[in-house]
Each structure stands twice: as structure tokens, then as C-alpha cells.
Amino acid sequence: MKVAVVGAGPAGMTAALAAAQNGNTVVLFEKNEKIGKKLYITGKGRCNVTNASDTDAIIKNVVTNPKFLYSSLRSFGSEDTMRLLEGVGVPLKIERGNRVFPVSDKSSDIIKAFDRLLSQYGVIVRLNEAVKCFSLSGDKISSMKTDKARYNDFDAYILATGGMSYSATGSTGDGYTFAEKMGHTIVPPKPSLVGVYLSEVGLSDRRVSFDSSYRGISLKNVELTAFVNGKKLTSEFGEALYTEKGLSGPIVLTLSSKLNRYLPETIELRLDMKPALTEEKLDERILRDIAASPNKDIKNFLRGLLPSGLVPLYLSVCGIPEDKKVNTLTKEERKRICLSLKELRLFISGLEPLDRAVVTSGGIDVREIRSTDMRSKKIENLSFAGEIIDVDALTGGYNIQIAITTGFAAGSKIES
């Protein structure tokens, strides 16, 4: 069999490798000047290539269509990925959260390993050649046109063109267009693992506009709870970071992957700066601190409870003058301070755009793909792999593992 694989990211490279290992003649088409371009920037250049967890643990971190991956993950999971890479001379290490990186902390070592494997199994790599369209004969692809030639001698095709995140690396959504023209349903792409934009911040009876003056302020050991149309959806505990237009950081990225399909419905976040304390315990602490320093201005007092850069925001939300002495605070003012620390409301105006997302949520509807081999249920000689499929996961190496797993499933089932 002669196989065309479109896209040389982790999914396409693995698909090409697996198909070649079966004795097929494989040509890998990549419109960029090099393979694995997006891998260069993953994990801040360190390449969090997989997560050293078992299938069930990985599935728990898949946000969209996790059941679709059971079969393929059992066939090629994280242990297989680690064995594959270490087998061609890339030592790996496991860090916090079972994240797996090359010992060198260089993503280029992962890409070089794939390059060696592709060469070892005779995969023909055609760089700087962009696929433009496919022609059909009935329910089969009969030919493929690139910006350099038309090909009508391939028996099977694997689309691994990625999603729409980090478009500078070549993920521009071409695969969605190709698949849709061949009769596939595309779940609208949305950003996942991305920051949020905020319009206002406040309490139930008072809001203030969000502005860029809080940019760069980091939050640690906080809890962020998401509400959709007033109904609690989910909570995350950990770190966050104020940006010029909103909020980002680990817990925000995680929440974004669960919120992206609810927009433009009303989404509200509630920020708890003191999750270890109940509102009553927090009030007791404030009373003790007031007794210890009764003549402090409230702006200085709050620096013991908040990052100093956030004090003006909280005073504005509470409607308290910054030079007010803490021993003159009313019970109602003290209650507002406690409430703002426990349940500051953050009103979302949107998510950061797809081009800034770690991964794309959406893509080809999994109901139109066989989960065992990633084969299209509509086009006889077409398969899919990677981010082009409507499957996405949280951070931690899961998304690259999904790409590798689906790539292996697509390529390994093509018999010569």
C-alpha cells in the first residue's frame, strides 16, 4: 500500500512511522520547512511529551469525548511512547504530576528522535509542500493536489493537520476544510487551555470595570469556581495570574477547557483568596488583627491579606476609602471585606483567541470515526489523527499523548 500522511506533528509522524513499520510505502507531507514545528514550543521549549499514568488516569484528564480514546490508548499508551523515544536514545524524566520531559529539557531532542525513526523505516518526508485539495470517486479519495503536484497513486490517506492553535506553526484549520468537503461534520473549533478576558469585577451589589493595572499579579493557593447561567459548574485550586485583559495561570487554563463550549452564555468566576478559612473564621482573624493594630489605615491593613497590588481593587469593590482607620470599620464594611476575599465575582467577556490557546477544542465529530483505527466512516480510504479530531485534554502531556496514540492507531491498522 502507498500511504499519504498530511501533517508532520506528533500525530502525523507517529502515523507515518506506524504505517511504514507495517511495510507500507509512506510519504509524509508537511507545509512547513521542518517537521514537528509545534513541538518546538510545547512545554516552554522543554516538550512535555506524555504523562506517565495508566490509561484510566489519562482518560480522567480528557475533557472532550474521553470514551473515544479507550481502545487506542490501550493499544499504545504513555509507556509505549516512553519506550519508543528511549529506544532511539532520548532519556526521559518524570516530574511533578507525572509529566514526562526529555532529560535534556530540549524539545529538539524529541523531534530528532522522530526524524531518526522516520528515516530508519524509510518514510519519505516532503517539506514545504502544502496540500490544497482532494478529489473523490464515490466514497474513496482518488487523488490529492498540493501546491507542487497532483498525486493519484496513493491507496490510503491520513489527515493529521492539527487544530487552529498557534497558527504560526501551521495549524490553520486546513484539515477541517478538507474533511468537511468530504462530508464530515466539524464541531466548531474553540480555544482550550487559554486565559479569560474579564469585563468587570465585584460583588452582587457593586461592580467595577477591570483594567490592566493588575497585570502580572500572581495568586497562590486560591480557589476559582465557575458558574454558568448562575449554576455551579466546577472548581479548581492552585495558582492564577492577572493579565492585561483578564486572568490566566494553571487553574484558569483548566477551567477554560470546561467553559469554552458554554460561551456566549453568562459565565461568572468566583475567586476565593482564603479557601482554608470559612467566612466566619476569616472575620475572627480580621477582628484579632484590628485589635492588634487599631489605628492602621485599611489600605495598609489589607496588605496582610492580599497582594499589595490588589488592595485598590478590593477597596473599590467594597466601597471603602483607603485612608479609613480599621477601628472605625462598621460590621457591614467588615462583612463586605470578608465576602470580597471569599467570593469576588469575575465577569467573563470571553476567552483568549484560538491563536493563543494551547490546544483546539472541537474538530471532526468522533461519531464519524472508528475508534479502533481512526478510519473515517464516510470515506473508505481516509483516516484521521491528532488535534483535528474532537478530543482534547488538560495540561500535563495528555494532548501530545492523544496525538501519538491516535497517530499510531491510524497508521498501524493500514496493512501493506
Sequence-distant (≥ 6) Cβ neighbours of residue 159 within 8 angstroms: 6, 7, 175, 178, 179, 382, 383, 384, 385, 388
Question: Mind listing the pLDDT tens digit for each residue in 148-180?
Answer: 999 999 999 999 999 988 776 767 889 999 999
Taking 80 as the threshold, does the pLDDT of residue 93 lie above it? yes
Q: What is the pLDDT of residue 41?
A: 81
Query: How many percent of the chain have pLDDT more than 70?
Result: 99
Which residues lie across from 203 on neighbouring strands?
206
CB 318 within 8 A of CB 286: no
Q: What is the pLDDT of residue 7?
A: 97
Taking 90 as the threshold, does the pLDDT of residue 297 lie above it? yes
Q: What is the pLDDT of residue 72?
A: 97
Q: What is the pLDDT of residue 45?
A: 85
Average pLDDT (90-119) is 96
Sheet of 124-126, strands arranged across = 124-126, 25-29, 2-6, 156-159, 382-384
Determine how many CB atoms are found less than 10 A away from the CB of residue 178. 22
* H/E run at residue 253: helix 250-259
Q: What is the pLDDT of residue 265?
A: 76
C-alpha span between 4 and 108 (Å, rounded): 25
Taking 80 as the threshold, does the pLDDT of residue 140 lie above it? yes
Taking 90 as the threshold, does the pLDDT of residue 270 lie above it? yes
Average pLDDT (18-24) is 97
Taking 80 as the threshold, does the pLDDT of residue 400 lie above it? yes
Q: What is the pLDDT of residue 369?
A: 98
- Regarding pTM above 0.75, the answer is yes
Q: What is the pLDDT of residue 172?
A: 82
Which residues lie across from 246 on neighbouring strands?
197
Average pLDDT (253-261) is 91
Average pLDDT (350-375) is 94
Average pLDDT (322-350) is 95
* H/E run at residue 345: strand 344-351
Taking 90 as the threshold, does the pLDDT of residue 193 lie above it? yes
The pLDDT confidence band at residue 264, using thresholds 50, 70 and 90, is: low
